[in-house]
């Protein structure tokens, strides 16, 4: 019988940074785990390590969850989202013993290069979250991409090249690995190690959206005000928000669909307005909790401001 393990973690509901070891001696991360074969194999073979996986595709997360549950692997945790955001916002410095990335899409066209998971500040975030002596490993079917990532990584003062291998034998094969091997492609494994501790502190971690609310002095229906906000945009530096449709239960609660952008990090969620005796409570609807980024705060405060103004 399947053993029930809740392996999916919603980082946006946790106090950040995450406790990654969860009582074990080590913690490792796989970025873009696909259907989870590699993660499950590593977790089976290394029970004293907590294995984290982050995937952009929700379908992959659900498929991997079935595998993890079927195999009864209590040392795996899965996250849904963009690894670049996760590294930057959710992890403490020097918290991981290893990071693996198997066959990420290389986005070969120049105009798509920003979509590469390894783009932007990725090398410095990897260097920050790795412990001294820990490693980052990339397995790819594109030699140019392997070299590009390796060169970007070792340009960081704390990371050094430790391995470059062509067609290594590994104890587990992923779906994409099998696909490329069937096509007769060569595969490239590179490993970078962190040789010294990173200077400088951690970022200021985001709080939890569900802990934030604002009270606005107003009496009377908020529903009509929220309807009028459809399409209204707000901006604060690189943070952007836009209000969409509102849904009222004809009683005391109104939901306002909201989209935010922090740089290129997009979130969709609902703001909730609850009308009380003397005032209104504005908060983020509990079932759609986003990360509490500056744009999310801006959207919440912007709505509170609109409600207050319309009450005058």
Ligand X SMILES: C[S@@+](CC[C@H](N)C(=O)[O-])C[C@H]1O[C@@H](n2cnc3c(N)ncnc32)[C@H](O)[C@@H]1O
Task: Give the length of the chain.
Answer: 312
Residue number, 105 or 253, with CB nearest to ligand X: 105
Residue number, 117 or 226, with CB nearest to ligand X: 117
Using CB under 6 A, which of 69, 71, 82, 148 touches ligand X? Answer: 82
Using CB under 6 A, which of 56, 62, 163, 166 touches ligand X? Answer: 56
Shortest separation between residue 212's beta carbon and ligand X, angstroms: 26
Shortest separation between residue 65's beta carbon and ligand X, angstroms: 14
Helix/strand/coil for 115: helix
Rounded to the nearest 10 degrees, how much is the dihedral formed by the CA atoms of 114, 117, 121, 126?
-170
Nearest to 29 by CA among 134, 133, 124, 115: 134
Tell me the Ramachandran region of residue 272: left when phi exceeds 0, alpha when psi lies from -120 to 50, beta otherwise: beta
Q: Is 71 exposed, middle or buried (0-12, 13-18, 19+ CB in 10 A)?
A: middle
Shortest separation between residue 243's beta carbon and ligand X, angstroms: 27
Spatial distance between the Cα atoms of 153 and 151, rounded to a whole number of angstroms: 5
Helix/strand/coil for 24: coil
For residues 202 and 92, is the Cβ–Cβ distance under 8 A? yes
Residue number, 104 or 146, with CB nearest to ligand X: 104
Spatial distance between the Cα atoms of 66 and 77, rounded to a whole number of angstroms: 12
Q: Is residue 103 close enough to count as binding ligand X by CB under 6 A?
A: yes
For the chain, helix (H) and strand (E) counts, in that order, are 8, 13
Residue number, 84 or 194, with CB nearest to ligand X: 84
Total interface residues for ligand X by CB under 6 A: 21
Residue number, 129 or 285, with CB nearest to ligand X: 129
Q: Which sign does the torsion angle of CA 78, 80, 86, 89 carry? A: negative
Spatial distance between the Cα atoms of 146 and 167, rounded to a whole number of angstroms: 13
Binders of ligand X in range 219-278 (CB under 6 A): none
For ligand X, the nearest residue by Cβ is 32
| Helix or strand run (H / E) with residue 258 | strand 253-262
Q: Is residue 34 close enough to count as binding ligand X by CB under 6 A?
A: yes
Using CB under 6 A, which of 7, 18, 20, 60 touches ligand X? Answer: 60
Shortest separation between residue 152's beta carbon and ligand X, angstroms: 15
Using CB under 6 A, which of 27, 28, 33, 145 touches ligand X? Answer: 33
Residue number, 88 or 297, with CB nearest to ligand X: 88
Using CB under 6 A, which of 112, 114, 132, 175 touches ligand X? Answer: 175
Q: Is residue 75 close enough to count as binding ligand X by CB under 6 A?
A: no
Binders of ligand X in range 36-55 (CB under 6 A): 54-55
Using CB under 6 A, which of 174, 198, 258, 267 touches ligand X? Answer: 174
For residues 241 and 299, is the Cβ–Cβ distance under 8 A? yes
Q: Residues interacting with ligand X, by CB under 6 A?
A: 31-34, 54-57, 60, 82-84, 102-105, 117, 174-177
């Amino acid at each position: 019988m399947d053993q029930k393990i809740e392996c999916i973690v919603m980082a946006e509901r946790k106090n950040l940074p995450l406790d990654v070891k969860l009582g074990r001696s080590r913690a490792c991360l796989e970025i873009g785990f696909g259907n989870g074969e590699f993660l499950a194999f590593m977790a089976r073979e290394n029970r004293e390590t907590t294995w984290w996986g982050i995937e952009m595709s929700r379908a992959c997360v659900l498929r991997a969850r079935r595998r993890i549950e079927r195999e009864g692997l209590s040392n795996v945790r899965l996250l849904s989202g963009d690894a670049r955001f996760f590294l930057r916002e959710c992890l403490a410095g020097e918290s991981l013993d290893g990071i693996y990335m198997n066959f990420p899409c290389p986005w070969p066209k120049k105009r798509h290069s920003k979509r590469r998971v390894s783009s932007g500040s990725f090398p410095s975030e990897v260097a920050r979250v790795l412990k001294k002596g820990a490693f980052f490993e990339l397995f790819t079917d594109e030699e140019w991409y392997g070299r590009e990532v390796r060169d970007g990584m070792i340009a960081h003062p704390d990371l050094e090249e430790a391995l470059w291998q062509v067609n290594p034998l590994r104890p587990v094969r992923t779906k994409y690995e099998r696909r490329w091997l069937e096509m007769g492609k060569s595969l490239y494994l590179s490993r970078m190690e962190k040789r010294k501790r990173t200077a400088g502190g951690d970022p200021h971690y985001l709080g939890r959206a569900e802990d934030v609310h604002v009270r606005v002095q107003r009496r009377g229906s908020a529903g009509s005000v929220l309807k009028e906000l459809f399409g209204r945009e707000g901006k604060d530096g690189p943070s952007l928000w836009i209000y969409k449709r509102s849904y009222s239960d004809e009683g005391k609660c109104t939901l306002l669909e909201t989209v935010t952008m922090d740089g290129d990090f997009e979130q969709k969620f609902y703001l909730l307005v609850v009308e009380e005796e003397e005032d209104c409570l504005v908060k983020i609807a509990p079932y759609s909790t986003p990360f509490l980024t500056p744009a999310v705060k801006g959207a919440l405060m912007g709505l509170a401001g609109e409600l207050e103004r319309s009450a005058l």
